[in-house]
A and B are shown apart, each in its own frame.
Chain A
Amino acid sequence: MAAISSTSSSNTLLKLSIKAALFILLLVALDFMIGTSISSAYFELDSGTSGATINRILNTRSDIFIMGASTAYHNYKPSIMSRILNKSVYNAGDDGKSIAHFYGLLRMLSSRHKPKMVIWDISNGDYLWPTTGKSVKDLLPYNKDQSLRSLLIDADKDNRIALYSKIFPYNGKIANILYSYLMASESVEDSLNGYEPLYGSVDFDNLPRSQNAYQDMIDLDLSFNGQKQVKVTQKYFRKFIEYAQQNNVHLVCVYSPRAPLTKEYETTLLLNPLLMKELVSLNVPLIQITADTDSRLNSLSSFRDLYHLNDDGANYFSEIVSHQLAEYINW
């Protein structure tokens, strides 16, 4: 009886193993077919919200690239900077991206067309915040590059397994990719060279907690201290600088202004001293333009929200920052 039970058990185990193997085989085949199709559609795109703007950046031959998260994306107007500096300028900034993302982007960009200068709109997040998988997610489709692959795994250990999938690099973006691909005739013309304007002014009625916002930000900056992923951020902070220096890409950091708060809470969010010390030790020039250093920026009417300039503010800021950047352009 026991022998029959044991045989039956091993038979069912074999049945399950065969079905599991068949399932994995079918899954791999489907994953390959869907993933490859999505991939070829993705690399045809250069706009939209799927992250495919990276393809446009990689195909852009500009002297100067602006890099950084949302403050880069919304504060620097390439047309104005280009006119003053007499160089071609492209804004490669993007919302919510980490320094690890820009390190990967700079590597890919340099392998095609090395920029002469990178203007890095720096913030405390580039040094003190943890690197998350989300902040480098747009680099996933480019994971064939081995150095990018290790960056993606540094940002999120799960990528070590997930990158075996051909679909996963496009996770959450498939609808956008298909939409943009099928509507290719309506491809967006990038007349703003990557810049994304914001309109309107700070509305304190909609930001009731704004008076404490900077203190909240300072607390937030410090709250990640000691986390493992902060070390990843600092690793790519240094690698980004070293890579630029080793490849003769002029790197200038700019800290763009934050909105001045009411007189009662008169304070402007500043760069963390540790970060500034690191920049000095790595010999990276830093330009700081704040509401305290420029009277015209000491007005809420130049800001869309606490951290971003509106289009008018960006016009003015792009002009004054270009004049300061001019001294670093000797090529």
Chain B
Amino acid sequence: MGYALDIYWKGDSRRVSFQDFLLYMSFFPQIMAGPIARSESFVPQIKKKKVFNYDDVANGLRRILWGLFKKIVIAENLKQYVDAVYDNPNMHHGLTIVVATLFYTFQLYCDFSGYSDIAIGSARIFGYKLIENFKVPLLSKSISEFWRRWHISLSSWVRDYVNNPIQYRYRHLKSIGVIIAVFATFMIIGAWHGPRWNYMIFGVIMVIAISFELFLKDWRDRFWGLLPSRLSNVLSTIIVFLVFSFCGMFLRSESLSDVMVLLNNASFSMDRFYTGSTSVIMNAIVGMLILAITDLRMTNSQFDEFINGNIVIVRWAYYLGLTIAILSIGVLDGGNFIYFQF
């Protein structure tokens, strides 16, 4: 669709041969769940002569290893707890639901960003550079920033092909025009996830959150300015994390009625707390600690760039440590990637 719109808006200069178009559409690392490659960046790479490049292969392998770690060690261990709660919403109460909801945010992030890392790494081995899909989104300080760091290839696609044209069309309405564009953007993001009311409501909550940030920007800046910057950064990151986790309930639940049951049963009560398998939780926590340490140090870079900035002992400790972690605490017979269903 993006390619067709490019031709329509930007003219025949974007046209490519049928053979290149087929390769662009069916390029195996990204065909299942992105990152959504743009023809303008991908097609020129097809034409480039491919030779063995040590850096491409080494960086590609590093990204694949990091992606496998996130998927197999973190997402798959967390999945067991999250599924136990979300597949039986009537049977769980209190803090269990809160914990499962927070776990789901990490599971979703590790599952999807893990897939993206594997896709980007695989493409890199063959000499293709795909668009980055995640930039440590769970450390965002606002919802708007979150969407600049989460599923970047989709959010930038809808920004360029939906949000910007609508915003331009309704520019005379000023802020209202922006809200209309944001609303249309998130309805499309919601619908992209599937034909369910859950996903639409997920989109609506995002529109409300972004509108809130937009309209109350001055007020928010003044409020956060009252606090020491480090504290305001931590608090705003936590708030964004909690808002996204709440929205995650709509993504994970089977139906709206399940969401209502979960919201009704959720509280901070420890009564009848479901512990699940302690070893599974321990394994997931070990994985999340490694992720947190790495993500905090990576800030805006990617794993391959981050790892290249370390001395050889640290680099090799990472490679061996991640592989041993996959073998020892990873769930190797887990399920598909979550985003394959969308």
Contacts and interface: CB of A to CB of B under 8 A. Distances in A.
Interface of A: 5, 9, 12-13, 15-16, 19, 23, 26-27, 30-31, 34, 49-50, 132-134, 156, 158, 162, 165, 167-168, 170-176, 206-208
A88 to B, nearest CB: 32
B292 interface: no
A174 B328 contact: yes
Nearest to B54: A12
A70 to B, nearest CB: 15
Contacts of B328: 34, 167-168, 170-172, 174
Contacts of B52: 9, 12-13
A109 to B, nearest CB: 26
Contacts of A23: 316, 319-320
B136 to A, nearest CB: 27
A172 to B, nearest CB: 6
Interface of B: 51-54, 57-58, 90-91, 277-280, 282-283, 316, 319-320, 323-324, 327-333
Contacts of A173: 279
Contacts of A174: 328-329
Interface of A is mostly: helix
A30 B85 CA distance: 37
Given A16-B58, A27-B320, A206-B91, A156 B282 contact: no
Contact of B333 (A133, A167, A207): A133
Given A172-B279, A175-B283, A208-B90, A31 B324 contact: yes
Contacts of A31: 324, 327
Given A16-B54, A16-B58, A175 B316 contact: no
Contacts of B324: 27, 30-31, 34, 167
Contact of A162 (B283, B320, B323, B332): B332
A5 B54 CA distance: 13
Contacts of B90: 206, 208
B316 A26 contact: yes
Contacts of A15: 54
Contact of A171 (B282, B320, B329): B329
A94 B3 CA distance: 56
B51 A156 contact: no
Given A173-B279, A175-B279, 16 more contacts: A9-B52, A16-B57, A19-B58, A26-B320, A27-B320, A31-B324, A34-B324, A50-B279, A162-B332, A167-B328, A170-B328, A174-B328, A174-B329, A176-B279, A207-B91, A208-B90
A258 B324 CA distance: 43
Contacts of B91: 206-207
B316 A49 contact: no
Nearest to B55: A12
7 contacts: A12-B54, A27-B324, A171-B328, A171-B332, A172-B283, A175-B279, A175-B329
